[in-house]
Amino acid sequence: MGNSEQTLTHELTLDRDCTTLSRHVLQQTVKTLHASSLLSPEAQDISAIMNRIALAGKLIAKRLSRAGLMADALGFTGETNVQGESVKRMDLYANEVFISVFKQSGLVCRLASEEMEDPYYIPENCPIGRYTLLYDPIDGSSNVDINLNVGSIFSIRQQEGEDLDGKAQDLLQDGHKQLAAGYILYGPSTVLVYSVGNGVHSFILDPSLGEFILAEENIKIPEHGPVYSVNEGNFWQWEESIRDYNRYVHRHEGYTARYSGALVGDFHRILLQGGVFLYPGTVKKPEGKLRLLYETAPLAFLMEQAGGRASTGREDILDFVPQKLHQRTPLIIGSTEDVSLVESFIQDRAKREETEPIAVQ
Ligand code: AHG
Ligand code: MN
Ligand code: MN
């Protein structure tokens, strides 16, 4: 029997020790906190929260895999969310899944999502739930109806104070306040990537076990990569500095474009292979499209942990303090060299504009 037949008849298994997600999170959080034992209450809490997030991921993955076979799973609801965007049925479903997995958990008092104008409170959790979950339930919704990859993004923050007026003012702080962040990518397999501030680790869902199994620990992004990932259809409405960068990659050997319409998918490629993702400000959306608390800050947390960088073009994303819950920021994220290259075009234009006004091309 030849090699190819052997591959067909025997399922190859990878030599891994089947570390489960909750145990891994517990160990990592204990290291980050320099706690003395696995019984550290905060480490236990973060591990339990991650377990619930993983459950949400499994439920969403299951629904996505069957959505085309179900009535009323795909398409729009006819409503518009607080962002002014048309809501898909899958956005609503996934938003509800995150809420329901945290009910009666005693872990999370409040959830804030890009699909909800105000945070959602789970009052029975509040006496002991000391955390807030921030999330983008479905990232890349435009891919849902065409069976392409989408994701969920999450971030965990400590709840500070009682939040008596329900306005969640304590969430208007920089990204360094995140205790953990990550995403779930629903692709050919379902992958969960997370960090609690001690490296970035990925897990793959084994559907036969219903468990996320460790795939890669301490992922490090290359210092440079060939990929630039940006919606070039917005060229006409970018600032001149972003056009300068875009012209540069068009005119030099060694660059290739990849853009999937789902930030999580594009981010995952760049995390593993290097390069840069950009969503700059546009004429229509000067602050860009992506939301700080649910998208750019969690991914910036992961990127810095992987040895890369995340910038608005003018400051590090993690230093940016939002003025409102649904604050948007421009995003330039990826390999250190590639982010610096984009920033250098922004700085050059700023210097030139100080000395001579530039005509718009
Ligand atoms: P969401 O589906 O959560 O609204 O996010 C969509 C985001 C992001 O995933 C993607 O990179 C970007 O929007 C695509 O936007 P354009 O179609 O404007 O390129
Ligand atoms: Mn999104
Ligand atoms: Mn979304």
Confidence of residue 273 (pLDDT cuts 50, 70, 90): very high
Distances (CA, A) of 301 to 181, 311, 343, 345: 7, 11, 19, 24
Q: Which fold has domain 11-216?
A: Fructose-1,6-Bisphosphatase; Chain A, domain 1 (3.30.540)
Q: Is 150 in the pocket of ligand 1 (CB under 6 A)?
A: no
Q: Is 87 in the pocket of ligand 1 (CB under 6 A)?
A: no
Name the residue with higher pLDDT: 86 or 174.
Answer: 174
The rounded distance, in Å, linking the Cα atoms of 131 and 224 is 36
**Interval 36-65 mean pLDDT:** 95
Sheet holding 309-311, edge to edge: 256-257, 227-229, 276-279, 331-334, 309-311
Q: Cα 61 to the chain's mean position, in Å? A: 16
Q: What are the tens digits of pLDDT across the range 335-350? A: 999 999 999 999 999 8
Q: Is 231 in the pocket of ligand 1 (CB under 6 A)?
A: yes
Same CATH fold assignment for domains 11-216 and 227-354: no
Q: Is 178 in the pocket of ligand 1 (CB under 6 A)?
A: no
One DSSP character per residue, 193-255 reads EEESSS--EEEEEETTTTEEEEEESS----S--SEEE--GGGGGGS-HHHHHHHHHHHHSTT-
Backbone torsions φ then ψ of 350, nearest 5 degrees: -60, -45
Q: Which of 279, 326, 331 is the pocket-test mutation for ligand 1 (most atoms within 8 Å of CB)?
A: 279
**Interval 181-210 mean pLDDT:** 97
Q: Is 45 in the pocket of ligand 1 (CB under 6 A)?
A: no
Show me where the domains of the chain are located: 11-216, 227-354
Question: What pLDDT score was predicted for residue 240?
Answer: 96
Cα 17 to ligand 1 centre (Å): 36
Q: Is 289 in the pocket of ligand 1 (CB under 6 A)?
A: yes
Q: Which of 231, 270, 296, 329 is the pocket-test mutation for ligand 1 (most atoms within 8 Å of CB)?
A: 231
Question: What pLDDT score was predicted for residue 43?
Answer: 93
The closest residue, in CA terms, to atom 19 on ligand 1 is: 231
Q: Cα 13 to the chain's mean position, in Å? A: 29
Question: What pLDDT score was predicted for residue 4?
Answer: 52
Beta bridge partners of 247: none
Beta bridge partners of 80: 86
| pLDDT greater than 90 at residue 197 | yes
Q: Which fold has domain 227-354?
A: D-Maltodextrin-Binding Protein; domain 2 (3.40.190)
Give the range with max mean pLDDT: 69-78, 146-155, 161-170: 146-155
End-to-end CA distance of the chain: 65
Ligand 1 atom nearest to 139, measured from its CA: 3
Question: What pLDDT score was predicted for residue 12?
Answer: 55
The closest residue, in CA terms, to atom 14 on ligand 1 is: 261
Confidence of residue 359 (pLDDT cuts 50, 70, 90): low
